[in-house]
A and B are shown apart, each in its own frame.
Chain A
């Protein structure tokens, strides 16, 4: 048993080294003075300066954030509706196709989703003259479509676990079905909706493949900008960009962790207090 433990511990150490050495290496080389991105030539922050003074990078970041906020919000609304539909309405015409449509984008290779969306937009423009130009609109539409199914998966899982008794009680007390949804169901699943939005936001912000197909001239998202630079090889300013992104994500995750931890502690304290008052 002792030897077993040592083995598992060693694998864990190597596993995390495998996860983080490439990232750490990227961070270290972002402070490299040399133009050669992989040969150390002294400490410098010049790549950060050149990165932050690059208008193209800032524009791409703003565009990516806009697309991510809009598509995550619409995807969350539609995805939540689909989750409620699948978890609460067990019988309706076309349910089999519907649940298939909700699962398919999850396993569909991105290349195929990208190509089918692009062909669809080109033919649509041919038939009805819209969308006239590919860019913000087409990227957002495509992102909504493949982000919403992730929201649905989360919301549906949460609804299946949740207790239906409260909803039935409200119904018995005379609430209309849509009132039950707004007053009971949605508040109960609000954590799932929030994590759905965050997931949709991250997926949209991170997408390269689908965006690369449905984008048009002048609409370069941040991943597309990175993609076009990285194809040509390793460049030091991308190291700096990666470091900033990792820093942002790291800070967000730590803040979220602390906030959740505090909320959990407060909840436990409240529960203890409630018990004491009952005694």
Chain B
């Protein structure tokens, strides 16, 4: 067999598989996995005033766990982790409370309306994320019509002594949660809709015929069956919200920073790469738990199909 023939046979049998698997594999290892390993290694390096600002070694050869000690002992980091988790959790719960009836409502409207309304849920997602955050900056500011409306309502409802000129909304955790709910709500509605749409309406009717009240039907039939959607939506909101950087930077409080901002500040302003890396690693460890729960339920949902 000629050299050329052998090459093409090799390509037919093995070579093309090697290319199809190899190209994306090599890319992800080089540009994702390797940089990630550098961050993990960096988290046990020592910060030095050199450029680049780190070295391995120091008093304990190679490994310096000082950054991790600081994360556990320094209140700043503990508070930032708590703020992130609480904000993300509250945002996920609020998304669920708003998103569930919306998703349920979407399954109850006529087919042609459903297409349009689903499109309207997705449409904000295609517009710039940054501009959706910005839209709320316009609404929450001191002089805005929205803040004015809320202020008037507040002043009307409360005793005269509590009257305020405007409601301080910007630079608070309230603002962070509100904007998170706004930007991540589609991530909650879509998986919920997907799991609610699959439900068999005759099950509802059967439960009704057997004497269940509508609230019982919801609790005993609809809710348990939509659990995979609830878990998926919850994780899709919680995970990116906990590591969020843009929202807390624009509308959040500087005195109660979230963890994403800590990482970015340690890196860019303090130029402490090892510290930034250690906080990043800690955040990832924190995220592993909900991710595991998510993939566990996901696998279960796949299995039951």
Task: Among B129, B146, B263, point to the contact of A208 (Cβ < 8 A).
Answer: B129
Q: Residue of B at shortest CB range from A247? A: B127
Nearest-neighbour CB distance to chain A for B34, whole angstroms, equals 7
Of B56-64, B65-73, B223-231, B244-252, the one with at least 4 CB within 8 A of chain A: B244-252
Interface residue ranges of A88-117 to B (CB < 8 Å)? 89, 92, 94, 98, 101-102, 104-105, 107-113, 115-117
Instruction: Indicate if the CB atoms of B273 and A119 lie closer than 8 Å.
Output: yes
Determine if A25 is an interface residue (Cβ-Cβ < 8 Å): yes
B241 to chain A, nearest CB (A): 10
Is A82 part of the binding interface, using a Cβ–Cβ cutoff of 8 Å? yes
Minimum CB–CB distance from A71 to chain B (whole Å) comes to 12
For B244, the chain A residues whose CB sits under 8 A away are: 109
Q: Is the interface of A mostly helix, strand, loop or mixed?
A: helix
A111 and B260 within 8 A (CB): yes
Is there an interface contact between B134 and A111, defined as CB atoms closer than 8 Å?
no
**Complex interface: stretch among A44-52, A120-128, A162-170, A188-196:** A120-128
Would B119 and A117 count as touching, CB distance under 8 A?
Answer: no
Q: Is A4 an interface residue, CB under 8 A from the partner?
A: yes
B residues contacting A by CB (< 8 A) are 11-13, 16-17, 19-21, 23-25, 27-29, 31-36, 38-39, 42, 52, 98, 101-102, 104-106, 108-109, 117, 119-121, 123-124, 126-139, 141, 143-146, 182, 185, 214, 239-240, 242-246, 249-250, 260, 263-264, 267, 273, 276-277, 280, 283-284, 287, 291
Pairwise interchain contact B102-A242, C-beta atoms closer than 8 A: no
Complex Cα spacing A227 to B42, Å:
28
Min distance, Cβ A170 to any Cβ of chain B, angstroms? 14
A176 within 8 A of B: yes
Question: Could you tell me the dominant secondary structure of chain B's interface residues?
Answer: helix
Are A230's CB and B130's CB within 8 A? yes
Complex Cα spacing A104 to B102, Å = 30
Q: Name the CB-closest residue of B to A26.
A: B135
> Considering residues A5, A12, A25, A141, which has the most beta carbons from chain B within 10 angstroms of its beta carbon?
A12
B27 in contact with A78 (CB, 8 Å): yes
27 contacts between A and B (CB under 8 A): A15-B105, A20-B124, A22-B136, A22-B138, A25-B135, A40-B145, A78-B23, A81-B19, A89-B21, A92-B17, A110-B245, A112-B39, A112-B283, A115-B39, A142-B31, A145-B31, A146-B32, A148-B27, A176-B12, A177-B13, A202-B126, A208-B246, A230-B133, A239-B138, A242-B131, A253-B119, A253-B126
Give the shortest distance, in Å, between A181 (CB) and chain B (any CB): 7
Q: Which residue of B is nearest A92, CB measured?
A: B21
Total contacting residues, chain A, CB less than 8 A: 87
**A window 126-176: CB within 8 A of B:** 126, 141-142, 144-146, 148-149, 152, 176
A231 to B246 CA separation, bound complex (whole angstroms):
10
Find out whether the CB atom of A11 lies under 8 angstroms from the CB atom of B283: no
A246 and B129 contacting across the interface, CB-CB below 8 Å: no
- Chain A residues, CB < 8 A from B141: 38, 234
A275 at interface, CB cutoff 8 A: no
A121's nearest neighbour on chain B, judged by CB, is B35
Chain A positions within 8 Å of B276 at CB level: 115
Do B260 and A23 have beta carbons less than 8 Å apart? no
- Does B243 contact A109, Cβ atoms closer than 8 Å? yes
In the complex, what residues of B have CB within 8 A of residue A246's CB? 127, 131
